[in-house]
Amino acid sequence: MAANKNQQNPRQKMINLMYVVLMAMLALNISTEVLNGFTIVDESLQKTTSNSDIMNDAIYKAFQEELKTNPKKIKANFDKATEARRISDELYRFVDSLKWAIVREADGKDADVKDIENKDDLEAASHVMLAPGTGKGEALFNAINIYRERILKMITKLDQYDIINSNLSTKVPKTTLAFGKNWQEYHFENMPVAAAVTQLSKLQSDIRYAEGEVLHALAEESGIISMGPQEAKVNNFQAFVIPNAQTLTRGSKFQAKIVMAAIDSTQRPRIFVGGRQISSNGIYETVTTHTGDFTLSGFIEMLASDSTVIRRQFTQKYTVVEPTATVSADLMNVLYAGYDNPVSVSVPGVPLNQVTMSMTGGSLSSKGNGKYVARPSTPGSEITFTVVSHANGGNQQMGQFKYKVRKLPDPTAFIDLGGGDRFKGGSLAKGQLLNLSTLSAAIDDGLLDIPFRVISFEAVFFDQMGNAIPQKSEGATFSAKQKNMFRSLSRGKRFYISHVIATGPDGIQRTLPQAMEIIVK
């Protein structure tokens, strides 16, 4: 394993300088151009962080390989490297969650941290980081301090110690702008979203830089890499395949990055796949035309310093599946017309934010995170959902799903006795009977709970001769005549509520077929 000494290169220094200049310009209230400048700096920071990730990962994998052949020599430093990676990943993920939280606060739940809409929002960062009781600024402040103390204990070189200590410092500068503010207020109070996200990206870059310094020092001490004053002397090579995905759908493109862990800047490695040399940029592509399990295999070779050829084999398995998606009605296997039916969609292997769905025969609205509300318009018809994946920059239809549309079933009439008690017939005390005011109706079957509006109903009483005496309601309210009849009822007498007319959320008026029997007790 070989790598250049992990010092701040001119590119990194230039990014840091751009960051300082942009912060100064922001203080002068320069708007759109400055905010776009932050986006440019943020993208550069992310590229630098990505490069650090690749280098750190290569060193770590070299540790793992060396551990297999010489565990006694490597074990202690391998454990230290593992701990450095663990605490770095922990803080890195926490910082990343804060970036997403700030952008979602500014742009809503469908926000994208890589495509910020409200870059000039001055409230989002303050709310996420400084809100009383919920602000994450103090937690970030404490996490940085803990990480800095732990990672600096692993640094043995004084010059790198000073750089990392400075990069991860939480001291507030003694300036007019910082007067009376703590660290989190200085960095996030009234800070535009673009600036806050860039600050957090810089922190992520500093974390990976600190982690890399520890890994380099431990690898050098373990003899995995040897660092000269001007060039890296390599004694361990490894070939790596980095695929864009290991499970793909038929018709999508499989792409893999193939690299040699030890890089000589004066030459490019030669890469062979299936006996054929591919482009020297290390990108291999092929269109997947069949489903099944496949293996990408070949070898990579380059010249060592003594002019000998070093060759390493590589293999990478991947699976191609048919385009597929899953659409499920959350409450039932059918959809009801005129009703907001909850529907879920998912595509195996594709993030939910890269999946969209459309619908025929009604309206469909997204609630985010794969959740939709479908409102079909016509009972007895058939609607079709179409699911599209936008993964890997494409637009691929993943399937169509048909559902029958039915009319909502008839509701059941009931009397609300309070406390969630729905009386649907049977014995009722006369005192409760005299206090009745309205009749209600709803579909209440344990799965659905859909209220209906009662338009009218009849209460049917019987005289001494058994003759029926119907009394009409006043809309959904028991009429004065109905209540007078209640007062004349003695214990054991019964009457019926029937001819209930109600309408539901679908707008269809219906007469309920069942009658409610009530017995006075």
CA distance 63 to 66: 5
Ordered by start, the domain boundaries in the chain are 10-231, 239-321, 326-406, 412-520
Q: What is the pTM of this model?
A: 0.42
CA distance 11 to 232: 20
Residue 66: closest CA among 212, 213, 215, 224: 224
What pLDDT, on the 0 to 100 scale, is given for residue 319?
72
pLDDT tens digits along 88-117: 999 999 999 999 999 999 899 899 988 889
Class of domain 239-321 as given by CATH: mainly beta
**3-class secondary-structure state, position 481:** helix
* H/E stretch holding 253: strand 253-260
CA distance 359 to 375: 10
Task: Give me 118's structure tokens.
Answer: 């409200």
CA distance 484 to 463: 14
> Is the separation of the CB atoms in 348 and 398 below 8 Å?
no
* H/E stretch holding 321: strand 309-321
Inter-axis angle of helices 32-69 and 193-221, to 10 degrees? 20
Average pLDDT for 325-332: 60
What pLDDT, on the 0 to 100 scale, is given for residue 2?
42
In which residue are the tokens 């400048």 written?
37
CA distance 399 to 356: 11
Backbone angles phi, psi at 61, to 5 degrees: -65, -35
CA angle 136, 139, 143 (to 5 degrees): 135
pLDDT tens digits along 61-89: 888 888 887 788 888 889 999 999 999 99
State what percent of residues in the chain have pLDDT above 90.
Answer: 33
- Asked whether the predicted pLDDT for residue 232 surpasses 60, the reply is no
pLDDT tens digits along 448-458: 788 999 999 99
CA distance 125 to 268: 44
In which residue are the tokens 């790598």 written?
3
State what percent of residues in the chain have pLDDT above 70.
Answer: 80
Neighbours of 200 (CB within 10 A): 26
**3-class secondary-structure state, position 41:** helix
**3-class secondary-structure state, position 90:** helix
Question: Which fold, 326-406?
Answer: Immunoglobulin-like (2.60.40)
Lowest-confidence segment of 79-93, 294-308, 371-385 by average pLDDT: 294-308
**3-class secondary-structure state, position 73:** helix
> Is the separation of the CB atoms in 243 and 255 below 8 Å?
yes
Q: How far is CA 284 from CA 53, 243, 520, in A?
A: 21, 9, 83
Residue 325: closest CA among 349, 348, 343, 344: 348
Average pLDDT for 271-278: 85
CA distance 400 to 384: 6
Question: Which fold, 412-520?
Answer: Immunoglobulin-like (2.60.40)
Q: Average model confidence (pLDDT) for the chain? A: 82
What pLDDT, on the 0 to 100 scale, is given for residue 233?
42
